[in-house]
Structure 1
Amino acid sequence: MNSQEVRSTFLDFFQSKGHLIVPSAPIVLKDDPTLMFNNSGMAQFKEYFLGNATPKSKRIADTQKCLRVSGKHNDLEEVGKDTYHHTMFEMLGNWSFGDYFKKEAIHWAWELLTEVYKIDKDILYVTVFEGSKEENVPFDQEAWDIWKSLISEDRILLGNKKDNFWEMGDQGPCGPCSEIHVDIRSAEEKAKVSGRDLVNNDHPHVVEIWNNVFMEFNRKADGSLEKLPARHVDTGMGFERLCMVLQGVQSNYDTDVFGPLIEKIVTLTGKKYVKGEALGEQEKTNIAIRVIADHVRAVAFAIADGQLPSNTGAGYVIRRILRRAIRYGFTFLDTKEAFIFELVDTLAAQMGSSFPEIRQQKDLVKNVIREEENAFLRTLDQGLQLLDDVVKQTQGKEVPGAKAFELYDTFGFPKDLTALILEENGMSYNEADFDKAMFEQKTRSRAASEVSTEDWVIVREKMEESFVGYDLLVNEAHITRYRQVDSKKDGKQFQIVLDATPFYPEGGGQVGDRGVLIAGSKEIPVLDTKKENNLILHITQSLPEDASGPLTAKVNRELREHSARNHSATHLLHQALRSVLGTHVEQKGSLVSPGYLRFDFSHFSKMTDAELQSVENFVNDRIREHLPLVERRNIPFAEAVAEGAMALFGEKYGDSVRAIKFGQSVELCGGIHVQNTADIWHFKIVSESAVAAGIRRVEAITSDAVKDYFANQEKALSEIKETLKNPQDTLKAVAAMQEENVKLKKQVEALLREKAKALKSSMANEFREVNGVRFLATQVDLAAEGAKDLAYELGNLGENIFIVLATVNDEKPMLTVYVSKELVASKGLNAGQVVRELGKYIQGGGGGQPFFATAGGKDPLGIPEALEKAEDFIR
């Protein structure tokens, strides 16, 4: 079977068993603050396991895009080195929410593997939970007995808590599991060692392919277990590993899942890939090719689902994965130019039928990856220069670990590349000190973000929790549950859930509502409102004295109305951009707050002033048309899209959706909006900038913020007029002043050139000869440009000249270094390296070319020492 047949066979099988087939959720999670990425098949169903929502079917099956590169499930460092770990992978899964349990799950797993996929029963092993006295959970006799009816007992193994007790996290649903492992070793290897002894021992050819989790318990904050009200089944089968077995190969990378990507890498780099075991340089090449083939999948799908590389959060993880791929290509495949972006065409052709988002977002994905490649290749060049400086400064053969860590932490220079280059120079770095610096940084980071969450205190059993905020800003409510959360950042806080709330939780780009909960005479401020696993959480710093009593939930009207204006303006902005720039424009992120709105969108170039004005005019025209809000709630998703509603890539939509319409603008949206566009009053763009390759950002304001903006502009204009002595024509006066300024600058520059020539004559005799070099290091009373002119004038006096000039302007020191070209060639003297070293004495830095460079700094008092140390470079 090829990979597409493997996938469709799985889904068809479970559809025949009464399962509803659902699409993969986006790989990037936007509505679960506990996870950055979908790291397992069950992540999109958490709210069902927790009992916070009702599934559309009690039986569901799917293939889920997963990403494991951070936190508890972190396979990143294994990827490429072995044959079966990946960053992005597909998890084939079937689910039962309070319906079937162990018997059906195990029988169907066995039927699919042995009768449909026709995997030889003699290469399969299964594990069941051996029990835990510590947890007071017995041996899973039921699972054992079911397996015993299907397979010989010598192929059933007992697993401990680490291997056979699955948990969602530190708290939440969990239960024993039964894994299925496959032994694809050769007959000769099997004769030497039994597969029983290799299960769960990280053997590349005795691997787990399917895990059946039987969720029976809930893990509480104190670590204890309690029975769940309903029992569930959560299974996950590794798609890539299954393809390896069914295609009769020994590595996931030898399947048709990765084959086309590897072939393309080989074509682009001219390197050879050898299947199976390889030694020496060929194995390094193999690993690099596998890393790139794996990582481009993870990065491409993350970008297609709306997560751009950045320096924080999920964006940083994506950037880190891509940089790892670039670095492997740079180091082991000799790729000094961007090439990974070219793999996206192959990926889209290969997976586009099952995951259409990668095909539809192909051009954007390519642009973003290409820009990131070019940027990091420049960083690697800078890192090589910095590392070269470190090598020259190091006494002996070992670079301090702290220096290597600084390169890694500050400049993003990979530690293994540092080790490789040092090795070529007969050197190494202190790994223990590097690891210590890394540990200290992680400890600081962990301490800053440490959070402890207590169990929910249930105040009212079996109460429905609902959102009434589309229609109300104030309503009577009761607390259904609450819990305490402690963090270094925010201290002690409470998360309160109400049976009915008008508070809009953060989502869809819109910030959460603020307001108060009024209990008797006590007002409790709601600092923020968030959503987690289908629960609306009201963040407070205290609780009512009687948590079971009635209270009034009251949203801050002013903040809500400002957010509503900005959210409705965002929809109109989206429509305007598509009208002015073209229908290629798609939303790639947004922020809607009371103060302003931010909108990220796909577009290939900087917007012109005329385009920005056209967009602004378009939105304000819609405001002046007084378009009423047309809101439709709980309509079928397919019906809304068929009627023209715009759905956004990377968003997870249910079967029923809410459509928001203002005139011709129709979008699926759960946010808060004005009743009429006239309520927005006015729309003003305040900035337009680049976010990433092919992604632009517009920031804008509405309503009172626009009034404040114009008031500030008017005030600034009045101050300018007053400064110019209240001319009749302010614009003409400014133009005249600029013209006069240009003339004065030219006069000053001419005077400085004359001064430099005069100094040249007086300083020509100040050169000293040091080791055959004509040397001059002194401070001069010139501006930066004058120092440059003087350095070149003096440099033209002869050969073998080395000049260091210091200047101070507005208390800011600058060093200017000139080196004759023959010194660069014969003695390896480099002005850029010299100025970087001397710049440290004035608390600054800089660079330039080998024959001319400058460095700015903060401390003029360091100039004498810098000039004194300059001579060391030729001693």
Structure 2
Amino acid sequence: MTSSEIRQKFLNFFESKSHDIVASAPIVIKNDPTLMFTNAGMNQFKEYFLGQRKVETKRIADTQKCLRVSGKHNDLEEVGIDTYHHTMFEMLGNWSFGDYFKKEAIAWAWELLTEVFKIDKKDLYVTVFEGSEDENLAFDQEAYDCWAKLIDKDRIINGNKKDNFWEMGAQGPCGPCSEIHVDIRSEEEKAKISGKDLVNNDHPQVVEIWNLVFMEFNRKADGKLEKLPAKHVDTGMGFERLCTVLQKKKSNYDTDVFQPLIREIEAVTDFKYGKNAETDIAIRVIADHVRAVAFSIADGQLPSNTGAGYVIRRILRRAIRYGYTFLNKKEPFIFQLAQVLSDQMGSSFPELTDQKRLIQIVIKEEENAFLKTLEQGLVILDQIVQNNKGKIVSGKKCFELYDTYGFPLDLTALILREKGLSFDEADFHNEMQKQKERSRSAASIDADDWVILIHDQEEEFIGYDYLKTNVRITRYRKVSSKKDGTWYQLVFNLTPFYPEGGGQMGDKGYLQAANGDVFYILDTKKENNLILHYSKTLPTELHQTFLAVVDDRNRLAVTCNHSATHLLHQGLRTILGDHVAQKGSAVYARNLRFDFSHFSKVTDQELKEVENFVNARINEKLDLVEQRNIPIQVAEEQGAMMLFGEKYGDTVRTIKFGKSIELCGGTHVKNTGDIWYFKITSESAVAAGIRRIEAVTNEIVKDYFLAQDNEFSELKSLLKNPSDTKQAVLKLQEENAALKKEVEKLIQEKANSLKTDLLSKIEKLNGVNFLATNIEMDAGTIKNMAFELGDQISNLFFINGSKNDGKAFLTIYISKNLTEEKSLNAGTIVRELGKYIQGGGGGQSFFATAGGKNPEGIAKALSKAKSYLV
């Protein structure tokens, strides 16, 4: 049975049990600040468990893309080392929201595994929650009784709170769970020791395959448990592990989920899988990590230096490093695997096919960049070794190399071992722990439990139509962090405040009490299905009606910019082509930022055409045509643009200006004429294949033009107010160019004169013309002179030392025949001499340079250079 067939059989089974089959949510989380990535199938249904959203469909099943690399669920360092942990994986799941419970969930799981998938009952074990005296939680007798009707009682295992009480995090929905484990060992191995003794003991062939979670409780901020309003079922089955069992393999990597990738890695690297433990780990790491990176890019998350982007970059760099160290790949190759992944999984996840070119370009660019980082790290590590005294290198310096340059620790250790050195591991890990504590301290947010003022009150957003209204506070909580201090998050029964989302900033404004007191709303965000209004102060009298007022000037500026992004998107596709797709946006009051896929720099002419296109739409004074809550199929038929990495419901909202039509939840102008004018202020690269345009509209355009006018006036003043400013600048450029040529001519004449003088200072050492100089000129002139001397003088060994701004510089040139005949290497020599100037460098065998901070060491370096010839 192929993996595709297994996936479909699961979905078909639960469809037969009256479950709605829904699409996977994006792997990158958009509206939940507590998570970066979807790490469990239940993430997209979190608000149902919390009671923050009305349940419309009580039974759901799907296959969910998941990523576990940070936080509580961190499997990254195990990935590749063993054969069953993964970064990106599929989780097959079925849910009941206040409908069926333990009896049905257990019976259906057993039916699917043993009757549909035909797994031998003798290979299965189950666990049930044994209870916890600390929290007064009883043994899960109900689950035990359900299992006792299906499986031998000696295959039912009591599990502790760690293994059999599932919690979403420090706070939130939780409950006892019942795991199903499978023993895929050989009969000989099973005879030696019972699988029962290996359950939850990290045995690679006795593994958990399905977890049935029975959501009954909510964990409060103080750690106490309270009953949820309804009981829910949340199950998760590892798709890759299921394939291992059904395809009768001993490893997830032996299934058809990973084998196409592994075969391609073998072809590209000339290393065979299954021949060597180290190279096998490297191949598994790469096969796993390219999936995580490709799916994340397809869902809109590019590698970067912060947040979720940093996690993706870290995963990719781990794969590159394994290829570099163990598969001898010193050039990009991982990007090629995107084609195999698209061929293999594109039918189930079409975003891989649609975004294939972008995935390939981004990965290749990241590979190139990190391979250069590895080369740079080698140079820096060489400097550390040269300056080190003794056999143990500072762990702090190794951490700086790891943290600042991304240089892998295991590669550092390997190079040091080759030189007969080691590093202070305790010191390294101490620095690592201090950094983690700093990051954790800066990012940690303490949130109190919600104080509920009005129960069972659903919040309604009315901000499309109203900017002020009377509201009641239904709940609030206090949150605090070292970064932002203390805030209050308020939830209203209805609100005109738009919450941050879709790239648009949240509204600001104020609450006014009956007595006239004002409480400022400084930001609005959405968490799951709640709109949170941020205030630094809390009203003393909460049980009253307040007047909620949105800052209308701020809202207008934001809506002008948001509507402009839609027109910009249309303009880019019209001018550059249909390959352009939105890859992110940020809509503020003062400016807008729009990221899009395009594989070359946008020319000045193209930018002008795009700008003119948008302004033409503004001048047409196009009315907003808004459709709310229309079926998504209707929106698709109308040609509405949909963004990759977004999950849309059955009904959507469309925004139309003329021929521009997009799915969007943001706020917009009533007529494009309200935007007044659109001006592009910059165009740049964000990442490989991704460009960024920044622009301004409305009042800010006026500020922009005023600033430009002031700058032009200052320029004219500096030029003595010429009648023709352009001609004055051109004349100045011509004069500057002429002077530059004159200076270059003088420098060359000086160099020629100096070169003649240097010929008299050449020493003959063992058949080599040795020349050591102390010329104070710029690096380019010295390099040119070195090569000119090399053309004129055979068997030349030339070294120059100079200082500039308190720093020292060494330049070495060696005739190419000497690099072979006498095994002289300028790169090696300059690194060794670099220690005299407290620096380092490198280069080619015939030409190399070094820089350092100790000019006093130049004389010693020049003197030491002779020793290579005598």
**TM-score bin, normalised by smaller chain:** over 0.9
Amino acid at match of 1:493: W
CA change 1:784–1:115 in 2 (3 A) is: closer
CA–CA separation in structure 1 for the residues paired with 2:835 and 2:305: 28
CA–CA separation in structure 1 for the residues paired with 2:835 and 2:389: 21
State the Cα deviation string for residues 456-500 of structure 1 (Å, max 9, x = none): 111111112111111111111111111111101011111111111
CA–CA separation in structure 1 for the residues paired with 2:303 and 2:635: 32
Amino acid at match of 2:69: V
Instruction: State whether structure 2 residue 858 is matched by structure 1 residue 863.
Output: no
Indicate the larger mover: 429-438 or 230-239.
429-438
Name the structure 2 match of 1:417: 411
CA–CA separation in structure 2 for the residues paired with 1:427 and 1:470: 67
Name the structure 1 match of 2:484: 490
State the 1:50 CA deviation.
0.5
Name the structure 1 match of 2:142: 142
Name the structure 2 match of 1:569: 564
Name the structure 2 match of 1:806: 802
CA–CA separation in structure 1 for the residues paired with 2:634 and 2:505: 28
Normalising by structure 1, report the TM-score: 0.94
CA change 1:176–1:816 in 2 (3 A) is: same
Q: 2:527 aligns with which of 523, 532, 535?
A: 532
Amino acid at match of 2:722: P
Name the structure 2 match of 1:293: 287
Name the structure 2 match of 1:382: 376
Q: 1:347 aligns with which of 329, 341, 348?
A: 341
Q: 2:695 aligns with which of 687, 695, 700?
A: 700
Q: 1:673 aligns with which of 663, 668, 677?
A: 668
CA–CA separation in structure 2 for the residues paired with 1:777 and 1:29: 61
Amino acid at match of 2:226: E
CA–CA separation in structure 1 for the residues paired with 2:831 and 2:471: 68
Contact residue 482 and residue 495 of structure 1 kept, 8 A: yes
Instruction: State whether structure 2 residue 467 is matched by structure 1 residue 478.
Output: no
Name the structure 1 match of 2:814: 820
CA–CA separation in structure 2 for the residues paired with 1:874 and 1:437: 42
CA–CA separation in structure 1 for the residues paired with 2:425 and 2:445: 31
State the 1:807 CA deviation.
4.8
CA–CA separation in structure 2 for the residues paired with 1:635 and 1:827: 76
Name the structure 1 match of 2:445: 451
Instruction: State whether structure 2 residue 16 is matched by structure 1 residue 24.
Output: no
CA–CA separation in structure 2 for the residues paired with 1:868 and 1:855: 14
Instruction: State whether structure 2 residue 645 is matched by structure 1 residue 653.
Output: no
Q: 1:362 aligns with which of 356, 364, 367?
A: 356
Instruction: State whether structure 2 residue 266 is matched by structure 1 residue 266.
Output: yes
- Provide the aligned C-alpha RMSD in A: 2.4
Contact residue 834 and residue 841 of structure 2 kept, 8 A: no
Name the structure 1 match of 2:579: 584
Superposition map of 1:113-124 within 5 A: 113-124=113-124
Amino acid at match of 2:370: F
State the 1:599 CA deviation.
0.8
CA change 1:120–1:845 in 2 (3 A) is: same
Contact residue 832 and residue 852 of structure 1 kept, 8 A: no
CA–CA separation in structure 2 for the residues paired with 1:562 and 1:707: 13
CA–CA separation in structure 1 for the residues paired with 2:798 and 2:106: 80
CA–CA separation in structure 2 for the residues paired with 1:867 and 1:312: 45
Amino acid at match of 1:699: E
Amino acid at match of 2:234: D
State the Cα deviation string for residues 593-641 of structure 1 (Å, max 9, x = none): 1111111111111111111111111000000000011111111111111
CA change 1:60–1:690 in 2 (3 A) is: same
CA change 1:833–1:28 in 2 (3 A) is: farther
State the Cα deviation string for residues 758-802 of structure 1 (Å, max 9, x = none): 44556667789999995646463x455445455566776775644
Amino acid at match of 2:92: L
CA change 1:837–1:686 in 2 (3 A) is: farther
Amino acid at match of 1:653: Y
CA–CA separation in structure 1 for the residues paired with 2:172 and 2:89: 24
Name the structure 1 match of 2:397: 403
State the 1:424 CA deviation.
3.2
Q: 2:723 aligns with which of 722, 728, 732?
A: 728
State the 1:54 CA deviation.
1.7
Between the two proteins, the alignment pairs up a number of residues equal to 862
Instruction: State whether structure 2 residue 427 is matched by structure 1 residue 433.
Output: yes
CA change 1:560–1:142 in 2 (3 A) is: same
CA change 1:866–1:684 in 2 (3 A) is: farther
Name the structure 2 match of 1:62: 62
Instruction: State whether structure 2 residue 249 is matched by structure 1 residue 249.
Output: yes
CA–CA separation in structure 1 for the residues paired with 2:724 and 2:465: 52
State the Cα deviation string for residues 491-535 of structure 1 (Å, max 9, x = none): 111111111111111100111112222223332222211110110
CA change 1:847–1:266 in 2 (3 A) is: closer
CA change 1:765–1:445 in 2 (3 A) is: farther
Name the structure 2 match of 1:463: 457
Name the structure 2 match of 1:169: 169
CA change 1:833–1:386 in 2 (3 A) is: farther
Indicate the larger mover: 336-345 or 179-188.
336-345
State the 1:113 CA deviation.
0.8
Name the structure 2 match of 1:73: 73
Instruction: State whether structure 2 residue 540 is matched by structure 1 residue 548.
Output: no
State the 1:841 CA deviation.
6.0
CA–CA separation in structure 1 for the residues paired with 2:829 and 2:227: 67
Contact residue 760 and residue 794 of structure 1 kept, 8 A: yes
Amino acid at match of 2:335: F
CA change 1:518–1:848 in 2 (3 A) is: farther
CA change 1:788–1:331 in 2 (3 A) is: closer
Q: Secondary structure of 1:197's partner?
A: helix
Name the structure 2 match of 1:194: 194
Indicate the larger mover: 735-744 or 390-399.
390-399
Name the structure 1 match of 2:604: 609
Q: Secondary structure of 1:713's partner?
A: helix
CA–CA separation in structure 2 for the residues paired with 1:384 and 1:787: 26
CA change 1:634–1:132 in 2 (3 A) is: same
State the 1:814 CA deviation.
6.5
Contact residue 404 and residue 434 of structure 1 kept, 8 A: yes
CA change 1:794–1:351 in 2 (3 A) is: closer
State the 1:538 CA deviation.
1.0
Q: Secondary structure of 1:509's partner?
A: coil
Name the structure 1 match of 2:322: 328
Instruction: State whether structure 2 residue 826 is matched by structure 1 residue 830.
Output: yes
Amino acid at match of 1:269: T
Indicate the larger mover: 672-681 or 767-776.
767-776
Q: Secondary structure of 1:576's partner?
A: helix
Contact residue 217 and residue 225 of structure 1 kept, 8 A: yes
Indicate the larger mover: 485-494 or 198-207.
485-494
State the 1:333 CA deviation.
1.6
Q: Secondary structure of 1:134's partner?
A: helix
Q: Secondary structure of 2:54's partner?
A: coil
Amino acid at match of 2:528: N
State the 1:852 CA deviation.
4.4
Contact residue 465 and residue 499 of structure 1 kept, 8 A: yes
Indicate the larger mover: 616-625 or 431-440.
431-440
